[in-house]
Structure 1
Amino acid sequence: MAIDLARLRYFVAVAEEGHITRAAERLDMQQPPLSRQIRLMERELKVQLFRRLPRGVELTSAGHALLPEAKSMLARFDRAMEITRRAARGEQGSLCVGIAPTAPFIPLVPKSIRAFREAFPMVSLVLEEGLSNEVVSKFDNDQMDVAFVRAPQVLAQGVVVTPLQEEPMIVALPGNHPIAKRGKAQSISLASLANDPFILIGPQGTGLHDETIAACRAAGFMPKLGQPAPRITSTLSLVAAGLGIAVIPSTMQSVRIAGIAYRRLRAPGPKAFLGLAFRRSDPSPVLKQFLNVVRSIAKSTPPIQ
């Protein structure tokens, strides 16, 4: 037999107050309807829950047995309702966030993740590093909700990319490169590096790989391709070993590796793109909250010089 949750609340209020009139005031209702609901509950259970006293009521043994169970049921129901409301508001749930390998060096990215964690501590964030092609695969397999990407387009079904920031690209040179010995103050032209082997990050279709090729073409040459590198760390290791040069985002200057010199490229130089990829049709309230946080921080973040 199902018991109305409202009647359980009435029962608990009367049991705790020991008086039907005071319980009615607590429940913001009249005393006669409350008395009627208690009698109906006793009739349905076929037990007496209260003994009527001259000034109030007291629990019977059956009432004493029911009270802790009633409180537990109501607490579980209230908790379930609150979880449901938080999920609907995007305050609870989970989110898988992809991050391009060079993205954490941009202050906007860790700042956004930190702000979201602080604002929505009950959301479980799973962070996964991935190049553009890896992110595409995870979106296609429903294993990714949103991603910080370096490519302005992600060729996954239904996925769009919102631009967040651009930053200048610089060149990483081996420490013994002739240009590295000229000093840091003067910027260099990309065309002056046409005879050097270029170490490209990731395969074709990856943001920084394609951006480097496009920048070299704009400078009037096709780059000589050196050994490819799957990640920025391996790229810089190859540069330090003297196996070539690499065009990288300017924020990567914070990575100090012996045997590498960073130099600015002459304006107008290439720009590294950062965007947020997600499915426009995704109804997830958690995703909407994440997008709102990132966009808000992006608007208040000054451009990278």
Structure 2
Amino acid sequence: MTTDVHVRDLRYFVAVAEELHFTRAAERLYVSQPALSKQIRALERQLGAELFRRDRQGVALTPAGAALLPYAERLLAVWAEGASALAEVGAAERGTLVVGMSTSPGRGGLLPAIRSRFTAARPEATVRLRQVSWDDPTAGLADGDTDVAFVWLPLPEATSGERYDWTVVAEEPRLLALADTHPLASRPHIDFADLLDEPFLALPPSAGRLRDHWLALDERGGRPPRIGAEIASTEETYEALAAGLGVCLVATGNARLITLGGVITRPVHGISPSRYALAWRREDGARPLVRAYAEACRLATGR
């Protein structure tokens, strides 16, 4: 048996083994389904054994896959412990906390208020901000690029709270953003039922449940949304709105970022509010810098 299997290969294998569904496993891993299938095939060739049976009934572990699974899970658990210990040592040596975000929190000087409280509690620490693409709804938490992150809920895997903890920063109504030439622009407010046939701007598919949230899937009664364009940044959102490619929902606190020339927002009835949060990986919750920043955030927001 070839021994130079990568940790990533084992992580992919375990995800498919647990989901027994390549598409769900790909969404969980933030990779495309074809790329995941290709990687699993490569792993099977490397090991010289078929790990999954794929047929019309679905996906199932082969005897070889079932034999490998507990060892792969054990190796990943040990590796995660080692990586966490290494990160802890590195953080202690650097005294640096990396804070991720997709868009700046703004919201009444929130970042400076948190920073001042954090600095008072941990004067030796350094805060480094990292801008992360909208492709990653965890703003760097999933791949370990950030220590804490400002994110929109829901997070991947957040229903059971297995992977992340968070403190809510703001709960804000979702507004409708649209071109000022749109037929609905003349209304002072809009019922979401009147938007079901409108083309919507959508986050990338890799955003998963967050994409669904900003498309308001829960309020559509099973009717699929029409996608006018996909957007991955504030700039792309504004350009698509101004060009009339679709409408989109936006949190009240972010409306100022896109209501430039030619784009307006209107209140929407019939949808739930958005929730903005500071999140961190659950296993990092005991780290001193993570704890201190979360506490500073709670103090700054009064939550």
> TM-score interval w.r.t. the shorter chain?
0.5 to 0.7
> What amino acid is the match of 2:154?
P
Checking the alignment, whether the CA contact within 8 Å between 2:167 and 2:298 is kept in structure 1 is no
Q: Deviations over 1:42-67 (max 9, x none)?
A: xxxxxxxxxxxxxxxxxxxxxxxxxx
The separation in 1 between residues aligned to 2:289 and 2:179, in whole angstroms, is 45
Structure 1 residues 132-143: aligned runs within 5 Å: 134=136, 136=138, 138-143=140-145
Aligned sequence identity (%): 26
The separation in 2 between residues aligned to 1:206 and 1:106, in whole angstroms, is 26
The separation in 2 between residues aligned to 1:264 and 1:117, in whole angstroms, is 35
Structure with max Cα Rg: 1
Pair 1:178-2:180 in alignment? no
Checking the alignment, whether the CA contact within 8 Å between 2:197 and 2:226 is kept in structure 1 is yes
Checking the alignment, whether the CA contact within 8 Å between 2:156 and 2:208 is kept in structure 1 is no
Residue 270 and residue 140 in structure 1: after superposition, are their counterparts in 2 closer, same or farther (change >3 A)? closer
Match of 1:253 among 252, 255, 261: 255
> What amino acid is the match of 1:167?
E
Which residue in 1 is equivalent to 2:236?
234
Structure 1's unaligned 5+ residue stretches are 1-86, 301-305
Checking the alignment, whether the CA contact within 8 Å between 2:132 and 2:139 is kept in structure 1 is no
The separation in 2 between residues aligned to 1:247 and 1:218, in whole angstroms, is 13
The separation in 2 between residues aligned to 1:138 and 1:114, in whole angstroms, is 20
Q: Deviations over 1:36-95 (max 9, x none)?
A: xxxxxxxxxxxxxxxxxxxxxxxxxxxxxxxxxxxxxxxxxxxxxxxxxxx9xx9x8110
The separation in 1 between residues aligned to 2:246 and 2:137, in whole angstroms, is 27
Q: CA deviation at 1:177?
A: 0.6
Residue 195 and residue 149 in structure 1: after superposition, are their counterparts in 2 closer, same or farther (change >3 A)? same
The separation in 1 between residues aligned to 2:125 and 2:95, in whole angstroms, is 5
Checking the alignment, whether the CA contact within 8 Å between 1:145 and 1:287 is kept in structure 2 is yes
Checking the alignment, whether the CA contact within 8 Å between 2:173 and 2:272 is kept in structure 1 is yes
Q: Deviations over 1:223-263 (max 9, x none)?
A: 20111001132112100111111111112222331111211
Checking the alignment, whether the CA contact within 8 Å between 2:136 and 2:206 is kept in structure 1 is no
Q: Secondary structure at the match of 2:136?
A: helix
Pair 1:107-2:108 in alignment? yes
Q: Deviations over 1:147-168 (max 9, x none)?
A: 1110233449843233332110
Which residue in 1 is equivalent to 2:288?
285
Checking the alignment, whether the CA contact within 8 Å between 2:151 and 2:278 is kept in structure 1 is yes
The separation in 1 between residues aligned to 2:299 and 2:229, in whole angstroms, is 40
Q: Secondary structure at the match of 2:255?
A: helix
Query: What is the TM-score of this pair, normalised by structure 2?
Result: 0.59
Q: Deviations over 1:261-304 (max 9, x none)?
A: 211102x423111122212332421221111100122226xxxx
Q: Secondary structure at the match of 1:114?
A: helix
Deviation larger for 112-121 or 165-174: 112-121
Q: Deviations over 1:109-136 (max 9, x none)?
A: 4244432465245321111122575365
The separation in 2 between residues aligned to 1:147 and 1:172, in whole angstroms, is 25
The separation in 2 between residues aligned to 1:257 and 1:245, in whole angstroms, is 15
Which residue in 1 is equivalent to 2:174?
169
Residue 252 and residue 281 in structure 1: after superposition, are their counterparts in 2 closer, same or farther (change >3 A)? closer
Which residue in 1 is equivalent to 2:148?
146
Paired positions, count = 205
Which residue in 2 is equivalent to 1:96?
98
Residue 159 and residue 244 in structure 1: after superposition, are their counterparts in 2 closer, same or farther (change >3 A)? same
The separation in 2 between residues aligned to 1:105 and 1:203, in whole angstroms, is 26
Which residue in 2 is equivalent to 1:263?
266
Checking the alignment, whether the CA contact within 8 Å between 2:201 and 2:248 is kept in structure 1 is yes
Residue 204 and residue 271 in structure 1: after superposition, are their counterparts in 2 closer, same or farther (change >3 A)? farther
Residue 277 and residue 154 in structure 1: after superposition, are their counterparts in 2 closer, same or farther (change >3 A)? farther
Checking the alignment, whether the CA contact within 8 Å between 2:101 and 2:139 is kept in structure 1 is no
Q: CA deviation at 1:219?
A: 3.9
Q: Secondary structure at the match of 1:292?
A: helix
Structure 2's unaligned 5+ residue stretches are 1-88
Q: Secondary structure at the match of 2:173?
A: strand
The separation in 1 between residues aligned to 2:163 and 2:200, in whole angstroms, is 34
